């Protein structure tokens, strides 16, 4: 089932679209010492119980990961660094928030839009900090398809087949004629049902997790992680940020 909670007015969506741009991978923008410094803040934040939360346990009773939300001076210092690095890709007034994500399982297709129907979505990004094992290739795959409210698209074919036209219409440009190519499917997912699972979606940016790089995209873009199991990924840790425009 696809939720309709947090849907925005046509007027607000038009305003959000004024600031939209293509997803980009900014290569080599963080030095080794930047990454080490971010990892140090990450480790410190994870020790603070009031700033961390466990992710859900999955069907096999394994933890999916953890999140930590830096606050105060740590958040301010991170923001100063990231704002400087994205200054050529952003404009005007916006606020930012940061979360460290430690993941042992890949995220399915979703948006990180907002439940607040008045929120003026802007950009979001991911800064890779750790990949386990280090030489493995893991991706955040950003699609052309968009939605301006929080969406979690099912990963199992049976549920996808039960989606109603109204639910599918909540995703812009979803087109059942679009099929992701075999090479991309095997590079990023390799599951047996993936051709059908990703039917309708077109890849805008496959962002390979490389230390020092950052991907940046509009918050309306649906995105997901590449597969872990078929590609020998044990886990990854990244710093995610989301931004919102200040309403004029
Ligand atoms: Fe996300």
Nearest to 35 by CA among 73, 87, 74, 78: 78
For residues 50 and 34, which has the higher predicted lDDT (pLDDT)? Answer: 34
Provide the pLDDT confidence category of residue 139 given band limits of 50, 70 and 90. very high
Domain of residue 29 covers 10-245
Protein residues near ligand 1, an ion, with CB under 5 A:
112
Share of the chain above pLDDT 70, in %: 96
> Residue with structure tokens 């923008």?
29
Q: What average pLDDT does range 92-117 have in this prediction?
A: 94
Does a structural domain hold residue 202? yes
Dist. CA 23 → ligand 1 center (Å): 13
| pLDDT value, residue 236 | 97
Dist. CA 55 → ligand 1 center (Å): 14
| pLDDT value, residue 248 | 61
Question: Residue 134 is part of a domain; what is its CATH number?
Answer: 2.60.120.620
Does a structural domain hold residue 96? yes
Does a structural domain hold residue 2? no
Distance of alpha carbon 120 from alpha carbon 112, whole angstroms:
13
Distance of alpha carbon 80 from alpha carbon 72, whole angstroms:
13
Does a structural domain hold residue 3? no
Dist. CA 85 → ligand 1 center (Å): 20
Q: What average pLDDT does range 137-142 have in this prediction?
A: 97
Dist. CA 73 → ligand 1 center (Å): 25
Q: What average pLDDT does range 180-194 have in this prediction?
A: 89
Helix spans in 90-193 (H): 157-161, 165-168, 182-188
Does a structural domain hold residue 5? no
- In this model, does residue 141 exceed pLDDT 90? yes
For residues 191 and 85, which has the higher predicted lDDT (pLDDT)? Answer: 85
Dist. CA 241 → ligand 1 center (Å): 9
Does a structural domain hold residue 143? yes
Does a structural domain hold residue 64? yes
| pLDDT value, residue 52 | 84
Query: pLDDT averaged over the chain?
Result: 93
- The domain tally of the chain equals 1
Which class for 221: exposed (0-12), middle (13-18), buried (19 or more C-beta within 10 A)? buried
Does a structural domain hold residue 31? yes
Dist. CA 219 → ligand 1 center (Å): 9
- Read off the pLDDT of residues 191-237 as tens digits, 9 standing for 90 and up: 778 889 999 999 999 999 999 999 999 999 999 999 999 999 999 99
Dist. CA 224 → ligand 1 center (Å): 7
Provide the pLDDT confidence category of residue 144 given band limits of 50, 70 and 90. very high
Helix spans in the chain (H): 10-18, 32-46, 72-85, 157-161, 165-168, 182-188, 194-197
């Amino acid at each position: 089932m696809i939720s309709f909670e947090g849907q925005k007015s046509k007027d607000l969506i038009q305003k959000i679209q004024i600031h939209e741009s293509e997803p980009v991978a900014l290569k080599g923008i963080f030095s080794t010492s930047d990454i080490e410094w971010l990892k140090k803040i990450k480790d410190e934040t994870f020790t603070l119980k009031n700033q961390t939360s466990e992710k859900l346990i999955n069907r096999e009773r394994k933890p999916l990961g953890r999140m930590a939300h830096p606050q105060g001076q740590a958040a301010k210092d991170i923001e100063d660094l990231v704002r400087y690095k994205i200054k050529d890709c952003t404009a005007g007034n916006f606020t930012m928030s940061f979360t460290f994500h430690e993941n042992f399982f890949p995220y399915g297709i979703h948006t990180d839009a907002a439940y607040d129907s008045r929120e003026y979505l802007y950009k979001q990004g991911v800064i890779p900090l750790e990949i386990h094992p280090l030489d493995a290739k893991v991706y955040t795959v950003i699609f052309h398809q968009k939605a301006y409210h929080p969406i979690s698209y099912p990963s199992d074919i049976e549920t996808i087949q039960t989606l109603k036209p109204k639910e599918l219409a909540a995703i812009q440009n979803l087109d059942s004629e679009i099929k992701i190519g075999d090479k991309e499917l095997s590079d990023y997912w390799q599951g047996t049902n993936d051709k059908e699972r990703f039917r309708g979606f077109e890849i805008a940016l496959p962002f390979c997790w490389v230390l020092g790089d950052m991907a940046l995209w509009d918050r309306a873009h649906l995105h997901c992680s590449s597969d872990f199991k078929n590609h020998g990924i044990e886990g990854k840790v990244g710093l995610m940020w989301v931004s919102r425009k200040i309403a004029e």
